[in-house]
Structure 1
């Protein structure tokens, strides 16, 4: 076995055999451990150490069954404490492992529309510790120019919209760190069903983001400008006083802003007031969604909650867009109506 660290995912917990996401800085597309280690004497040792880490949520070091090597494992903890992945190294007893590439765990609760980032991921992003926020609204995943996506961005959005247990996605994107450094990252995720203590089943996407080097040195990393031709065309149509976003057609919840966020609108998880449509306009919102699904276009006026807790009247126009051959979403344009604020 090479002396590189293995990065493996444990999204399914102790019930599922882990798969390899990377050997050193070289990404692997969730390949079985046995395909990397072979059927040599270390496979059972590595699987045993991994299982102990998933259960105990702590680092483990153990000798192999031959007694001539050691296995070292370190957990990648998600926010909340679950083990999403493990760094693994097998080497001689008198040899020290090499440095590990940064990686961070994350998860998205699709049922609650909340995404969570581990402290490790925030370090990877170069975020100052006094600015750490571990939980966000799902739409904040793509906000603030944090990520430069690749041509598969629509596929990633489709996974969110049409999530089913077992669905997976892997990609290489670019992270624009808070210190201005651009890093290539490889990420992998899987959608699973989780039963809550109250008996409700929630859809959760569990993922790991792995720093694989400077963006300029990784050919598969996206360039600084967006690579999606369709997104470039849409961006060219930006108009002052209008704000555009992609929304889930079924729920009309925000997935991604195409422009800067609409000023004053409550849309982030840390806003003093939670995002909402006025309850008297919910029927109109449902009708707008149905009209959009049937005819491809729809429009109306809805009241959305402001950051200050008041309501703002917004003209909404929406067009149907395809994320992939099976999944559609809403391209929504928002315009203030009657000066916006409702007393």
Structure 2
């Protein structure tokens, strides 16, 4: 076995066989551990140590059952403490392992529209410790220009909108770290069903992000310019006084701002008040969604939660957009309603 660390996902816990996401900085597309280690004598030792790490949630070092070697394993835990993966290394007893590349666990609770980042992931992003915030509204995943997505961004959004247990996604994106450094990130995720303490079954996307080097030295990493012509067109259409966003038609929740967020609208989990549509306008919102599904376009006025806790009227113009062959969302333009508009 090479002296590289293996990055192994354990999204299924102990109920599903773990797979390899990377050997050193070389990404692997969720291949079996056996395909990387071969039929050598250390495979059972590695599998056993990984299982122990998942159960104990702690680092483990153990001597192999044959040969003068040892297995060292470190967990990658979410903010909530679930082990999403393991860094594992096998080497001679008298040899020190190489430095582990930065990696961090995360998850998206689709049922609650909340994403969570581990401390490891925040370190990977170069975020100062006094600025750490582990939980976010799902829409914050694509905000602030931190992540430069690749041409598969629509596929990633489709996974969120049309999530089903077992769905997986892997990609290489670029992160603009908070210290200005650009790094290439390879990530992998899988959607699983998890029973919450209240007995409700929730859909969770479990993921790991792995730093695989400077963005400029990784050909698969997106360059610091829009990848898709469509993105360039959208950027050119940005107009003062109009704010565009992608919205999930099923939940009426914000997925991503295409421009800067509309001033005054509560949309982040860290805001004093949670994002919401006024209860009295929910039927109107459903009507807009139905109109959109039938005709491909819809317009209206809704009251949404403002940052100060009150309600603000916004004029909504929506068009149907395809994320993939089977998944649609709403491309929504928000403006301040003109005087006299019904709402």
Residues 339, 43 of structure 1: alpha-carbon distance in 2 compared, 3 angstrom cutoff: farther
Q: What corresponds to 1:163 in structure 2? A: 163
Unaligned ranges ≥5, structure 2? none
The equivalent residue for 2:5 is: 5
1:67 deviates by 4.1
Answer yes or no: is the 8 Å Cα contact 1:53–1:73 preserved in 2. Answer: yes
Higher alpha-carbon deviation: 221-230 or 170-179: 221-230
Q: 1:303 to 1:128 in 2, by over 3 A?
A: same
Equivalent position of 1:313 in the other structure: 313
- Structure 2 residue matching 1:163: 3-state secondary structure: coil
The equivalent of 1:330 in structure 2 is: 330
Q: Secondary structure at the match of 2:337?
A: strand
- Equivalent residue for 1:234? 234
| 8 A contact 1:313–1:338 mirrored in 2 | no
Q: CA deviation at 1:68?
A: 1.2
Distance in 2 (CA, whole Å) between partners of 1:339 and 1:182 is: 46
Which residue does the alignment assign to 2:61? 61
Partner of 1:298: 298
Question: What are the superposed Cα offsets for residues 57-108 of structure 1, whole Å, 9 maximum, x if unpaired?
Answer: 0000001110411000000011100100000000000000000100000000
The equivalent residue for 1:136 is 136
Counterparts of 2:36 and 2:332 in 1: how far apart (Å)?
46
Q: Which residue of 2 aligns with 1:197?
A: 197
Structure 2 CA distance for aligned equivalents of residues 339 and 215 of structure 1: 49
Matched residue, 1:243: 243
* Partner secondary structure for residue 158 of structure 1: helix
Superposed CA deviations along residues 6-65 of structure 1, whole A, max 9, x for unmatched, are: 000000001111100000000000000000001111110000000000000000000111
TM-score, normalising length: structure 1: 0.98
Q: Which runs of 4+ in 1 moved over 2 A?
A: none
Once residues 231 and 315 of structure 1 are traced to their aligned partners in structure 2, the CA distance between those partners, rounded to angstroms, is 24
CA RMSD between the two structures: 1.0
Q: Which residue of 1 aligns with 2:22?
A: 22
Equivalent in the alignment of 1:150: 150
Name 2:49's counterpart in structure 1. 49
Task: Mark the CA change 1:90 to 1:288 in structure 2 (over 3 Å): closer, same or farther.
Answer: same
Quick check: 1:6–1:24 contact (8 Å CA) kept in 2? yes
Question: 1:101 — aligned with what?
Answer: 101
What is the alpha-carbon distance in structure 1 between the residues aligned to residue 42 and residue 279 of structure 2? 60
- Say whether the 8 Å CA contact 1:76–1:84 is kept in structure 2: yes
Q: CA deviation at 1:339?
A: 7.3
Please give the alpha-carbon distance, in whole angstroms, between the structure 2 residues aligned to 1:84 and 1:305: 35
Cα distance in 2 for partners of 1:15, 1:87 equals: 19
Match of 2:287 in 1: 287
Distance 2:121 2:167 in 1: 22
- Separation (CA, whole Å) in 2 of partners of 1:316 and 1:158: 22
Q: Tell me how far 1:226 sits from its aligned partner.
A: 1.6
How far is 1:230 from its partner? Answer: 1.2
Partner of 1:269: 269
Name the SS of the counterpart of 1:13 in structure 2: coil
Q: What do residues 147-173 of structure 1 show as CA deviations (whole Å, max 9, x unaligned)?
A: 000000000000000000000000000
**Cα distance in 2, alignment partners of residues 205 and 291 from structure 1:** 30
Q: Distance in 2 between matches of 1:145 and 1:311?
A: 28
Contact residue 125 and residue 178 of structure 1 kept, 8 A: yes
Rounded to whole Å, the distance in 2 between the matches of 1:191 and 1:229 is 30
Q: Matches of 2:16 and 2:164 in 1, distance apart?
A: 18
State the match for 1:119 in structure 2. Answer: 119
The alignment partner of 1:301 has SS state of strand
Q: Are residue 77 (structure 1) and residue 73 (structure 2) matched?
A: no
SS of the residue 1:337 aligns to: coil
Contact 1:107 1:115 in 2 (8 A): yes
For 2:160 and 2:226, the matched residues in 1 are separated by 20
CA distance in 2, matches of 1:228, 1:122: 28
